[in-house]
Structure 1
Amino acid sequence: MKKALLLYNPKAGNRRIQGSLDFIANKVQQLGYQLTVFRSYAPGSIEQFIVDEVTQDDTDLIMISGGDGTVNGCINGMIRKKIDLPLLIFPLGTANDFANTANIPSNVTDALSLLETGEPRFVDIGRVNEKYFINVCNMGIFSGVSHNTDLTLKKNLGKLAYYVKGIEELQNYESMDLEIEYVVDEQPRLLQGHYVLVLIFNGQGAGGFNRIAKDASIEDGYFDLIAIKDVARYEIPRLFVQVLQGEHVSNPNVDYLKCSKLTINCLNDSNQFVTDVDGEMGPKFPLNVSVVPYRIKVFLPKTSTLQGRISLKSQDDFFKLITQFQNKNQL
């Protein structure tokens, strides 16, 4: 009998998984799998469980339930343990940006059906220093939002909790003095300047905004880098609206490029700036970032073009908050 492992974050997405566990177990057993279940109990516990308990030889399928951070822990554990098994994702977190890029259904029934109707496909991931990410690595303003947002607020407001926290950060932030070295067509290039936010995308979105890097692909071997320059404070809200709508490509205050490898050095006090990988705390500067092409095999819809879904409600919620912030501060 084939063996399947279900790893889940019980707190993700207002505990959405809890009403579906029996359904998943029943369906997986009908498909001929013997199921083992592991419940996350602390940050990092899924990654450590994989490292300590899972082997390539005693498992045929890994299923992971949660948001981008939960998936991040899973892939880091798999890579550390040198496990190359197909991964089925139940995107049940507060934000599920990688799943949106990959067109993975947010409904448990539809996601589970990918075992029969979908196909396992290799996708790119990113590496930053010694940590891996599946969707995005970012630094600067908003980068601490996902790990600084109160759990009760997330439970009550969902993604809106992130937006409320993000608006708070607009009132007090510092710019980063960065050197960004990258390679295009084997030629070294350099960006240098003061930036308020840098995003390195494998996927297309972050924080529920799914078209920020609308030309990004998880199958092309490249990152899409978006670096927002430090501008007058009254310009910041309007600039962020452009970025979140994917309309920033020609904006002179935004550096946008594709690359597969880069190094980022922070020339001012780097300890005051947070880095983030898939919604989890990232490493300290300097950052060495590279694409690891076709590294993880994920069950995807056969017809998927990996162009992502647009969450209009998420965008509307945030833009309303931006407008309120501008009016309050007379920007």
Structure 2
Amino acid sequence: MHTPNQFTNNSSALLLHVSSNARIVIFALCTALCLTPFISPAIALLMGLVIAQFTGHPYLHLNHKATHLLLQISVVGLGFGMNVHSALQAGKEGILFTIASITGTLVFGYLMGKWFRIEKKTSYLISSGTAICGGSAIAAISPVIKAEEKQISVALGCVFILNSIALFIFPLIGHHLNLSQTQFGLWCAIAIHDTSSVVGAASKYGPRALEVATTVKLARALWIIPVAFISSFIFKNNSKKISIPYFIGLFVLAMVANTYIPAVSNISHYFIKIARAGLTLTLFLIGAGLSRAVLLSVGSRPLMQGVLLWIIISVTALYAVIHLV
């Protein structure tokens, strides 16, 4: 599958004229900084964006695989910092929000795609990414509907742009509205597309917010499976090629081990530190992959669909968590 990170950098003429060796050194230094406790997830994302616009990612062709693997490892590591009982409670609180928001987002996305006259598969991928879990949903559903490279790239570019914005503004809004950690965790798990940005935003808000957000978001990610099956009927594709997020099972095992095995809980803080460093590095790499070519490839109408869908789900979810939680 092709992704935006596999674009040839058509805007290379606009980058700073630095040698390939200098580019590698700058990239390596930023990568090392992201593994220290001095760089927050938001700052790491910003660093990546600066790299993408001014010096360029020296290993762009490897970026998607690296971020995909790092995110999965980091999420599993975060499971060692969670308790099964509180996670189950968080899952119960989020299940109704999850069902309603996924259904509503897919319906609104379909209507907007028609309204803006966006190509059907592109519109569907943007809607699915917004409804479930961003890039992971797009990656899982795109082979099921036989999406083309351009359609996948546009959808992923749209989602990653909005994820970058959400990571910065959601904590600010949460503090301004005095949301509790549970409320904020539910809100960002529903309204932010990608797991990396959900965890990044929630970790800034507090430990309970992180626990709620991660649990609800991963439970939400399981909806990739039924949505993918439904998608195969909608697009009349009999293929059974569906990417199942197996790492969620490892996350659950890590959580169970932390809850019931004292030897594991005694050293769980080491896993959590490693996981948070991995998450910070993941966000840096995502930012570094958002080159000018990727940003320009999205186009105004798909981006408008993504923005409007995002606003609708964000405002609706915010109203729900304020009045119902």
User: TM-score, with normalisation over the residues of structure 1?
Assistant: 0.29
Q: Which has the higher contact order (CA 8 A, sep 6+)?
A: 2
User: TM-score, with normalisation over the residues of structure 2?
Assistant: 0.30
Structure number with the higher helix fraction is 2
Structure number with the higher strand fraction is 1
